[in-house]
Structure 1
Amino acid sequence: MTRRLTSSLSHRSSSSDNPKRKLDENGVENLLLPKMKRHEVSAESSSGSESTRLQIFVRMMSGGKTTVIHADKNDTVEQLHHRIELKTKIPAKEQRVIYKGKQLQLEHSLSYYSIEQDSSLHLLGRMQSTEHPVAWRTVDDIMYAVSRMLRGDWFVSVNNINDILVTFFDTMPKKATCEYLEIFLNSSVPAALVMLFASPLETNKSCAKSSIKLFFDSCIDLPDHQQRCFLPVVLEFFRLLRKVCPRNKLYVSCRNTLGSVLESVYSSGESRSCLLSIGDEIFPCVRELAKLMVKQLVDDDDDSGPPSSCDVQKVSSFWLPLRYSIQNQAETFTLIAFPLQNNVQGKLYHIFEKLLNAMGKGMSRLESILARRGAVSAKCSHYLAILKIVSSMSELYQGGKERVARLLSSRKASFGALVLKFAKRGDDDDHQWIFEYKEATTFESRRHLAMLLFPDVEEEEEDYEEMHEMLIDRSNLLAESFEYITEASSEELHGRLFMEFKNEEATGPGVLREWFYLLCQEIFNPQNTLFTRSADDFRRFSPNPASEVDPLHLDYFEFTGRVIALALMHKVQVGVLFDRVFFLQLTGKKIGLEDIKNTDRIMYNSCKQILEMDPECFDSDAGLGLTFVSETEVLGKRETKELLKDGKSIAVNSKNREQYVNLLIKHRFATSVSEQVNQFSQGFSDILADTACFFERLYVEDFDCMLGGGDNLISIDDWKAHTEYNGFKKTDRIIGWFWKILKKMTEGERRSVLFFWTSTRFIPVEGFRGLSSKLYIYRLHEAKDHLPTSHTCFYRLCLPKYPKIGLMEKRLRLIAQDHVSSSFGQW
């Protein structure tokens, strides 16, 4: 154990201090003092008579230097300690005053010890034991250097203090960071450095600025787990600098450092408890930064951009800890409404209103830009981050969420454009708040956010080592595809798929699109008993409760989940739609009566009738005679299931009929196919881990468009507008013939031609502009009676220069046949 002086100031102070030195107008020299009444530390006591005035010589035990103190016999020893502090800059808690070999106790007066005029007292530092002697020594060295500079010692330079700070950080052990910083704080080093910065001498100010910034920089460079220990010290610097120089760049630097440390503390859940008591102290930071952000948002000058990423991040770094403090400080948190309370939550409401109004103006301006240019300016890249902060603030106030929802709904176009332009893969946590305002989003923005959950597949890359290769026989498409997909690991399927049909030369994305389409036609073929087709829409399917006739049916549902996820990941429209109840099961939502309307219209009408019957009639002898059982027919066999225990003996009446209907729907559309849905979800999650999150981000209509494509008739004009030519001109006679023939075809024939051309039978909901590329018609320099060919990967249709329109029509109608349209594709 080492015994030592806690402050070397006690043995290094100089009697050269000018006893006539005055406090500056800000009382800067009082920064090191504890809170106390000013009259208690006055350099000249006016309370005593001339006969009780004393002049005392206080001698430092180390160095032999002496300073003169004026006091009164009736003053307490505690008051004497504070007078000594004013003259020597030695904190009172670090002092021991000795007279005639005895230590003077704080509560006694000077007269109690018979201290007379011109008495000599000795000043000692308090002796303490410590397990961190290096920390104490470096802290003492800093305090000594500051003391010398405050007394005008020109031999002390900025390098002296900076070198000591570097040593402090270099010797600070990782496991004792908090203990070292506690020594730093308890020794009043922050106050001493700020006092030095407030000095009228430019040399002192420059030295202090350099040292304080060095401390901040060293703090930021440390790992997060060490950085969190700096919060009390940085907060102390912040308090002091805000009093002394709130408009100085050093204060701004301190505020930024505090924000960074707070962000580190907030991100560590186990360290957050220390934030509960500092809400009042960090609120001014949110107010200052938000004020700057509002000014930038409402500025109409196109040359001055909106808040930068750095500006928004600064607000967020203070806002999240402040919100945590507000919501967790009280035992029960309650939303407040206007008129507001005069606390932090109440004051924050004005910031919320100003930011909300500023964002309204900014988004209004953005919609004007969209109307003129059709694109979002890069200057608006941080609007989403600001809206996230505003949304988070709204959670503290009654009606706050509704106000944000009204703003976003009124600016749906700009909100959707911001999501499409600036929501990126990799920052998914920042996107979830958007779905609190799902009604204000557009289909394009919801689709974009849902697709960000998938791994990125770059079709342009030719990294064959990362590909999952498949060689499939068309005649055994389902079985061989099942084998290739189920035996692959999730990691293998996250890369690109390389697809090739046996005995065919064609490869590439076009063949992959064709494989997805043909495979889904097989999977969802009702003859395979996996899925049943909707009576109202031949493209819409749901799991078949009777699928268990196939012993491998659950494996095939898992396989189907993988295939559908892969099709979505590769942005392939396979022409298959999911029934509403199937979609709701994948989101984990409860299925209600209205949800089954288009799935089973007979059951829907029956349940509707049960719920709407007159209660008296329902309970009379003429009632329906129902009990809590479900009767279904599976593969021609009648099956009965009880919906409740002893359900056969429980009659359905007007009071429990709603329960009966709910149980009936649950059994028919959830329980009976729960295993199939679970296996499908498992397969889907092999490709996309958060399956429920994906489906929650979409409406069923969105999923229809993503997987099945648009259901509108193909527009020839839209087709022409997105087609370019090579070897032909759009004014050539043969090109005119081509479009004329297409107009004469049926919808099915047109889709077959499109499939032959692109391996896509269903175009995106946006039309041809939603495809990944324009379409091309190339001239084929071969015999003029040959069939067309295609390069489906590049959306190229190759046509000979037919001599007559009749011959051209025969050739096009031949490829428009379903069994032919997939036979001529080339890489």
Structure 2
Amino acid sequence: MRRPFCAPSMWLAPYIAATEGEDSGCGTGQMTSLLLLPFGTRPPPPITDFSAPAVVRALVNRINTGESSYEVEEGGTSSQQAVRSGVSPNKLASLLLAAPHCVPFPQRVEVFRALIAADKYHNNNVPVIRLTVNRSSLLGEAYGHLAQAGPAIKARLEVTYLNAQGLQEAGLDYGGLMKDFIEDVIHDGFNPDYGLFAATREGQLHPGSQAVHMDQGPGLLEFIGMMVGKAMYEGMLVDLPLAPFFILRLQGRRPLFDDLQMLDEEIYRSLVTLKQYEGNCADLGLDFTIEEEIFGRREVVELVADGARLPVTKANRLQYVALVADWYLNGGTRGAAASAFAQGLGQVIPLSWLSLFSPKELNEVIGGGTAGELDLDDMRRHTRYSGGYSEASSPVKLFWKVLHQFSSRDRAALLKFVTSCSRAPLGGFEYMNPPFVIHKVPCPAPLMATIAGPDVDRLPSASTCYNTLKLPNFRRASTMREKLLYAIHSGAGFELS
């Protein structure tokens, strides 16, 4: 016999809340009736301001006041396109709160960007943070300067680099050095060789089992989380594929048994075998404990009170399997490490905002996920030219020809050389601000340089603050390829500029 434990309308409540409101002019009953009408006979929806800022105003209003509906402010900018749609900003805000994945991913990204823009507007008076760091000890020095910054890290960072000789590198920080600094700190922190993070077989990153026991481990984890939040806050993409079970922890959700397979295939298979074991489980000699290794020292952890005296039997083996999986995914040192990282990230990006996305989508928001290949057609379509160059200029044509011949690694290095970030903006180069620019650097060369003889000998340089590649007017593709590869892989920091 089936008994109703919930109100009949419970499962429709999020949908009804997302589709009714003052602007609909009808109550719940009338709205439900309209939904039952054939599409061709329904009244047309109103013209609506469906821009991301309008949705954010509705979303923030609902979070702050708990109201079920309100009037959206009038008078948006000319870029806010009014579209004939079946939803309004008020309704989309309801849907984002109740079931975010019912809203298309690009629209959720726009809302996420608008939330950050609104936060920047309210924090525009935070003083600039100035710091001087040496590239050879970047992570340690960055941690020393910024570990206690807290939410003030949202301010602009003004970075001065020292080279290997202890001399100040050439380059003024109008944004480019900051981007370079953030990406390099994150890269160093997530390097598995450092010990804070480990990688799955698929190369996805998560806190290492020994991270919290390292010297300053919890503090470094919190700091790295803060820097990842800073990258997201600044609209940067970093090559940082996070493990889905780690992302679930950041979103305030709890990874489950099947997530253990990605973390440790051997333990997962052992637990599956135990679940299906046909014999007497008591013969296996298991109890409700597990061994944790901390830098070569083994410690016994009890999964339940007095677990060392509780044998695993056929009656309680499912409880044992669940507790072991939960300990590896959510407890022990990994759980503490994930909590420290989340605490740092949450100082910049409210963790509730991460729930707008699935783990796979959040990887795209952070770093483009696995889709790291640059779209050269999109890049070319949104590139601007200055100093006398145009799309029809011979050196420009040579540049695009050479870039098509580059490997994926070389293309990413070129983008980092020019913009301080090795990934294209989420959504394409349309969202790069300032846009990618190729600027002409006129250099003399013999008339026959296009076919023989010496070509232009100057190296390309970049103004990362303005995403500008300063490209000499090379005459031959071979010369351009050689000079570009030397410049982008020289590791000379900003000295070439």
TM over 0.5: yes
Identify the residue that residue 352 of structure 1 maps to in structure 2: 31
Q: 1:358 to 1:566 in 2, by over 3 A?
A: farther
**Cα offset, 1:566, TM superposition:** 1.3
Q: Take 1:711 and 1:824, find their aligned partners in 2: how far apart are those partners?
A: 32
Contact 1:790/1:796 (<8 A) preserved: yes
From 148, 155, 160, give the equivalent of 1:495: 155
- Note the C-alpha offset of 1:431: 3.3
Q: Sort the Cα spacing of 1:550 and 1:444 in 2 relative to 1 into closer, same or farther, 3 A.
A: same
| Structure 1 gap ranges (5+) | 1-293, 298-306, 320-347, 370-374, 394-413, 424-428
**Match runs of 1:562-641 below 5 Å:** 562-611=226-275, 613-614=276-277, 617-619=278-280, 624-641=284-301
What is the distance in 2 between the residues matched to 1:583 and 1:730?
A: 42
Match of residue 695 from structure 1:
354
- Give CA-to-partner distance per residue, 1:134-153, whole Å, 9 cap, x none: xxxxxxxxxxxxxxxxxxxx
Q: 1:734 aligns with which of 374, 390, 395?
A: 395
Write the distance in 2 (CA, Å) between the matches of 1:312 and 1:505: 57
State whether structure 2 residue 225 is matched by structure 1 residue 561: yes
User: In 1, distance between residues paired with 2:108 and 2:476?
Assistant: 48
Q: Does the alignment pair 1:515 with 2:181?
A: yes
Q: Does 1:686 align with 2:347?
A: yes
Q: Aligned ranges for residues 248-267 of structure 1 at < 5 Å?
A: none
Equivalent in the alignment of 1:793: 465
1:257-309: CA deviation from partner (whole Å, max 9, x where unpaired): xxxxxxxxxxxxxxxxxxxxxxxxxxxxxxxxxxxxx9xx9xxxxxxxxx9xx
What is the DSSP-based 3-state SS (H/G/I as helix, E as strand, rest coil) of the residue aligned with 1:545? coil
Aligned-residue offset at 1:443: 1.9
Q: Confirm or deny: 8 A CA contact 2:236 2:425 kept in the other structure.
A: no
Task: State yes or no: 1:756 paired with 2:417.
Answer: yes
Give the alignment of 1:330-729 within 5 angstroms.
Answer: 349-354=28-33, 356=35, 422=89, 431=93, 433-454=95-116, 456=118, 466-490=127-151, 492-502=152-162, 503-506=168-171, 507-537=173-203, 540-611=204-275, 613-614=276-277, 617-619=278-280, 624-672=284-332, 673-688=334-349, 690-691=350-351, 693-712=352-371, 713-726=373-386, 727-729=388-390
Aligned partners of 2:98 and 2:399: how far apart in 1? 49
Cα distance in 2 for partners of 1:814, 1:377 equals 47
Aligned CA RMSD, in angstroms, stands at 4.1
Judged with a 3 Å threshold, the aligned counterparts in structure 2 of structure 1 residues 524 and 811 are, in CA distance, closer, same or farther, namely: same
CA distance in 2 between counterparts of 1:363 and 1:718 reads 40
Contact 2:417 2:462 in 1 (8 A): yes
Q: Alpha carbons of 1:823 and 1:417: their partners in 2 closer, same or farther (altered >3 Å)?
A: farther
CA contact (8 A) 1:791 1:797 kept: yes
Residue identity matched to 1:790: A
**Secondary structure of 1:640's partner?**
strand
1:259 matched residue in structure 2: none
- Does structure 2 conserve the Cα–Cα contact (< 8 Å) formed by 1:619 and 1:654? yes
Contact 1:790–1:824 (8 Å) recurs in 2: no
Q: Is the 8 A contact 2:240 2:367 kept in 1?
A: yes
Question: Is the partner of 2:99 in helix, strand or coil?
Answer: helix
Tell me if the contact between 2:281 and 2:314 (Cα under 8 Å) persists in the aligned partners: no
Aligned mates of 1:674, 1:599 — CA distance in 2: 13
Per-residue CA deviations over 1:206-253 (Å, capped at 9, x if unaligned) read: xxxxxxxxxxxxxxxxxxxxxxxxxxxxxxxxxxxxxxxxxxxxxxxx
TM-superposed CA distance for 1:668, in Å, is 1.4
CA distance in 2, matches of 1:312, 1:703: 32
Map Cα deviations across residues 685-739 of structure 1 (whole Å, 9 max, x no partner). 3334x42x12322211122112122432223222222222222222233222212
Q: Secondary structure in 2 aligned to 1:799?
A: strand
- SS of the equivalent of 2:206 reads strand
TM (norm. structure 1) is: 0.47
Matches within 5 A, 1:744-823: 744-782=405-443, 784-817=456-489, 819-820=490-491, 822-823=493-494
State the Cα distance separating 1:805 from its structure 2 match: 1.9
- In structure 2, the CA distance between the partners of 1:680 and 1:732, relative to structure 1 (3 Å rule), is same
CA shift for structure 1 position 514: 0.9
2:467, 2:41 → 1: CA distance? 41
Kindly provide the CA deviation profile for residues 81-117 of structure 1, in whole angstroms up to 9, marking residues without a partner as x: xxxxxxxxxxxxxxxxxxxxxxxxxxxxxxxxxxxxx
The 1-side partners of 2:466 and 2:268 are apart by: 47
Note closer, same or farther for the CA distance 1:366–1:505 as it changes in structure 2 (3 Å cut).
farther
Q: Secondary structure at the match of 2:384?
A: strand
Change in CA separation of 1:745 and 1:385 when aligned onto 2, cut-off 3 Å: closer
Measured in 2, the distance between the counterparts of 1:629 and 1:683 equals 32
- Tell me the distance in 2 between the aligned counterparts of 1:754 and 1:487: 32
SS in 2 for 1:431: helix
Largest Rg, 1 or 2: 1
Partner SS state of residue 499, structure 1: strand
| CA distance in 2 between partners of 1:793 and 1:416 (Å) | 39
Higher helix share: 1
**How many angstroms apart in 2 are the aligned matches of 1:802 and 1:787?**
10
AA aligned opposite 1:504: E
- In 2, Cα distance between equivalents of 1:359 and 1:382: 28
Identify which of 312, 323, 332 aligns with 2:23: 312
Kindly indicate whether the alpha-carbon contact (under 8 Å) linking 2:198 and 2:208 is maintained by their aligned counterparts in 1. Answer: yes
CA 494–735 in structure 1, closer or farther in 2 if over 3 Å, else same: closer
How big is the shift at 1:430?
8.6
- Write out aligned runs for 1:59-78 (5 A): none
Matches within 5 A, 1:127-138: none
Q: Is contact 2:131-2:158 (8 Å) kept?
A: yes
Structure 2: runs of 5+ lacking an equivalent: 1-18, 69-82, 163-167, 445-455
Structure 1 moving runs of 4+ over 6 Å: 357-367, 375-378, 381-386, 414-419
The answer to whether the 8 A contact 2:241-2:370 is kept is no
Q: Which amino acid aligns with 2:244?
A: R
Tell me which amino acid in the other structure corresponds to 1:661. Answer: V
The number of residues matched between the two structures is 439
Give yes or no for contact 1:629–1:647 (8 Å, CA) kept in 2: yes
Shift of 1:518: 0.3
Instruction: Tell me how far apart the structure 2 counterparts of residues 647 and 806 of structure 1 sit (CA, whole Å).
Output: 70
> TM-score, normalised on structure 2?
0.76
Percent of matched pairs sharing the same residue: 21
Q: Give the letter aligned to residue 805 of structure 1.
A: A
C-alpha distance in 1, partners of 2:408/2:477?
Answer: 20
Using the alignment, how far apart are the partners of 2:161 and 2:382 within structure 1?
Answer: 30
Once the two structures are superposed, what CA deviation does each residue of 1:446-502 show, in whole Å capped at 9, x if it has no partner?
33444455464769x9x8973222222212211221122123353x32332223323
Distance 1:361 1:471 in 2: 65
Q: Distance in 1 between matches of 2:269 and 2:262?
A: 11
Query: Would the alpha carbon gap of residues 626 and 453 (structure 1) be closer, same or farther in structure 2, given more than 3 Å must change?
Result: farther
Contact kept? 2:241, 2:363, Cα under 8 Å: yes
Alignment-mate amino acid for residue 136 of structure 2: S
- Residue deviations 1:759-791, cap 9 Å, x none? 111223423234334311111124532000111
Whether contact under 8 Å (1:725, 1:778) holds in the other structure is yes
Q: Which amino acid aligns with 2:30?
A: I
Seen in structure 2, the aligned counterparts of structure 1 residues 775 and 383 have a Cα distance that, compared at 3 Å, is: closer
